[in-house]
Amino acid sequence: MVMHNIRLWQRWRNNNDILMKRLAFYFDANACSGCKTCQVACKDKHDLPLGVLWRRVYEVTGGEWIQRGKVWENNVYAYNVSLACNHCEDPVCLKGCPTKAISKHENGIVDIDPEMCMGCRYCEWVCPYGAPQFLEDAGIMTKCNLCADYVQRDKNPSCVDACPMRAMDFGEYDELIKKYGERDDIYPLPNRYHTEPSILVHPHRSSDHVELEQPEVSNLEEVRNAK
């Protein structure tokens, strides 16, 4: 009887593995001009109130001017990183949520059920991407849902289609890897092992400097005030 149940469970799990998708974003830091159209498109699509940014653009700057004899040289650099929820393979927000308000759908979308959330903000603490954001009026957490209604109609999320530089792409994680190749994360993204995020980033050519020169996010006030 026990073995029968285990076999049934294994069959169910295998079937679900086949069904389970991993939808992901691709972001090309070289192409991004930092215009924040993606951010605005997201706010517009989801009618987000002031302060809530499901997608944020981090403006990274670094480097310095160095005098060599009579000559001043610089290694100053700047690039942008557009970031929303990465619908991680191992979402720490989902694991930590006490109410089970956060769930992962078959297509890989990690979503918050507003009817279940009690607004304890634990997901906000644990997420290294700052994805869950507090909706003051409703008293609950919200986050990017990959424009699930668009995805259902085989359309791209609003941020992807809004980008005038075509710096973003969207699709199945494995297909994106085939298209763009394996990509490393860049500052200020955390190490991938924390959550296995479903995002591929084409690093900016200046991001090599990051290891040498202490970079900083120059629009902290803007991204930090996102609740």
Partner 1 sequence: MQNKAWSLIFFTLLSQFGAGLMLYITIIYFFDHQAFQLLPSGVSFLAPDFLALMVITIAVLFSFFHLGKRLNATNALNHLSSSWLSREIFTVLIFGTCVLLVFLTRKINPAVTWLLPTTLLFSAFAGILLVAMISMVYLIPTIPSWNSWHTPLGFCLSALTTGGATIVLLVHFNITIPESGFILPKSIIVVSWALAIFLAIEIIATLVFQSKLAEASPVGINQVSFNSGTYQTLHMVRIFILFISMTFLIYFIFRLPGISANFHAHVRFFAMIFALIVIEEIIGRYQFYASYYRVGV
Which residues are at the interface with partner 1 (CB under 8 A)? 56, 58, 83, 92, 95-101, 115-122, 125-130, 134-136, 138-141, 188-191, 194, 216-217, 220, 223
Least separation in angstroms between residue 68's CB and partner 1 is 28
CA distances to 48, 80, 119 from 123, in Å: 19, 25, 9
CB of 168 to partner 1, least distance (A): 17
- Of 97 and 151, nearer to partner 1 (C-beta) is 97
Taking the least distance from each CB to partner 1, the nearer of 5 and 191 is 191
Nearer to partner 1, 116 or 174 (CB): 116
Q: Which residues contact 211 (CB under 8 A, 6 or more apart)?
A: none
If the CB atoms of residues 25 and 151 are measured against partner 1, the closer one turns out to be 25
Instruction: Find the shortest distance in angstroms from Cβ 201 to partner 1.
Output: 13
Cα dist from 55 to 19, 90, 122, 147, whole Å: 28, 20, 20, 12
For residues 35-57, b (16+ Cβ closer than 10 Å) or e, as one string?
A: bbbbbebbbebbebeeebbbbbb
User: CA 188 from chain center: how many Å?
Assistant: 12
CB of 28 to partner 1, least distance (A): 18
